[in-house]
Structure 1
Amino acid sequence: MGKAPDQGAALGALGLAGICRETLHVIRSFPAGFNFMCGMLITLSFSLLAHVAVSRALFSDAFASSSDAGGAGFVRLAANWAPFLVAEAAFLFIIIFHFLVSAAFCVISVAPGYNGIATEAVADRDARFVARDLREVPGFIAQYFLRVFRGDSRRAARLVRSGFAVFVRVAATSCVAFLLLLGYTALLAAVAVLMHLPRPALLLVGGAAYLAGATHIGAVWRVACVLSVMEDGARGSRAMHASDELLTAGGKFWAAATVFATLDGCAVAVQLAFGALVVDNRVGLSVLLRVAVGAVMAATLWATSVAVLVAQVVVYFVCKSYRRHCEGSVRAPAKSLTDVGRKGRDTRNRK
């Protein structure tokens, strides 16, 4: 799946439909090491659905009787707040860890197919140090890196050595994105309280503003995660700023935001439907039907997770290709002022 220079220019010209086609093409090509990332996303999908089930079991029962005499539901929640917080913290840690690691492995698997520079080769390292680096990790991870880089043990060893730093960069970038979203939510809530808007206007205007801001932050964060893996100096707010510039300069922001918002909305809808149909059983399904619906929703959530991780890598390379093509066009020398002599030297035009 390597891209030639002319194909790189074509990649930079992709729009919304092109990004979707390229994402499907990458998934169908099943790059080396892709199965490891897909396996991690299976665990992530089940963790998300288990989080919905446990949260509803601990949260809904407490508020179901909140209208009883004496507010028994709130008293029950106040008495059992510790198990609820412990369960939430455990699930959030598992979900965030699996997502960050899966995002990093997706970049490592897909990136070599575009430019072969997921990590730069270190040519002057001794073979003993390469072998030592590969022995410091479990064997299946070392084999994964060797398959991704097609036997190039030096690249694999460098990635092993920098693996923890890559994870820290992705985690720092995600933390900054979360703080931005939290601050944006608090700002909109404060504005809504101060303006004393009626409920219909609050739901319409406030909801639209919140969705627009959350979509912007989400799109920038997705590409920033790829930046944090691909570029050593990109982390935290620096990666978010570079991602915003990359999306806006390439003119790909709305296409990327549409793709990410659609896939994220699908994931949220699946979790809400799972809570209503499988956990709460609001339509009265039988046990077998609930199990079947839960399995279908788990598969849908897994496919959505695979698509969104691949899409963020594709969007990154689309924007990078567009920028490189533009920079190459600007740096191209203008030959209209010179004539090339017989010996290949440039000479000034003479009147």
Structure 2
Amino acid sequence: MGYNYPMLGFAPYGPYWREIRKIATLQLLSNGQLELLKQVHATEIAVRIKELHRLWAKKDGFSAKVDLKKWCGDMTLNVVLKMVVRKRCFDASILMAMMRVKARELRRFREAITQFFYLLKVSVVSDLLPFVEWLDLHGYKRTMRRTAEELNSVLVSWLEEHRRRRFSDENNDNQDFMDVMLSIMEGAQFTSYDLDTIIKATCMGLILGGTDTTSVSLAGALSYMASNHHILNKAQDELDMNISKDRNVDKSDIKNLSYFTTYSEYDGDLVLMDNNCACKMIRISSIHIRMYDGVEYTLTDVRHIPNLKKNMISLASLEALGCKFVGYEGVLKVFKGAVTVIKAQQSKNLYRLIGNTISSGAVVSVAKYTLARV
């Protein structure tokens, strides 16, 4: 199913693997290329949201059941296919135009991908007992061969379509990854595999790698939020406040959405303060701090205690992470090896951290100096 190891995820490390990895990174996965292709993501998300709205409208405004795993899988597959081969597996326009052959090809490809991931997880007896391979117990070998042929037949048709379009000078300004691979492979010398196999295997590897993990993670996150209304409401409030209801979230907006980083529920212990008042920890987050010299650090596993009016940093916790500290003439310095990572100025029985909080899901600093307790 992996074309006998030319696929990026299965190829052994060596000159071939490094060259294919460089091509994939520079031509598809680099920041510049992803920025050029960001409209693909936005368009696909808009299409999928409209489909959800149509489904809701058919129910006359009542709740409608949605298979999140399938919905996320279809969306991510469409995005990846659009970037790699300029195709969509689930396009209503294809069905409306009654282009049944094309629709059937894309559906076949989707089913073969689902089968591919299933076969990757199965345990084959012949892997442990090679002498029974000829029996093909459970028929896995036959199924793998059939799945590989199905995927290859679709990729061959796409490759021939790209070649025809390339020779006819049709839409050469709007190239996808397979077009780029065809241009790069002209005159390239790979002794192990023929060029068509390399192009098909590389495109297939990117499609597979960008589909399953992303869709499963997305479906899990959405289903968790849908099952916990207080988290969903908090996320909606932050989106309304920082983004507004008039547009979708853009990648550049993520830095302003602190709730979507590491802020999570935490049923913590009670902390006894100096006045013997017991305060409860309710959440865990990360805090980004810019130091006096402009260097930014992240404090992880920070406990959010609503009744605590100051941001406290425990030197014992820093020491457990391998830091050392020294106080001299009213200045506290914390070292990690030979590097000074924290500097603070004494103020009565406290040290004021010389720096400021950049963003956090738990606390927000409004002063120039964040208070840190020894």
**Normalised-by-shorter TM-score class:** under 0.3
Q: Under a length normalisation based on structure 2, what TM-score does the superposition of the two structures give?
A: 0.26
Q: Between Structure 1 and Structure 2, which shows a larger proportion of helix residues?
A: 1
Higher relative contact order, structure no. (Cα contacts within 8 Å, ≥ 6 residues apart): 1
Which structure has the larger Rg over C-alpha atoms? Answer: 2
Q: Under a length normalisation based on structure 1, what TM-score does the superposition of the two structures give?
A: 0.27
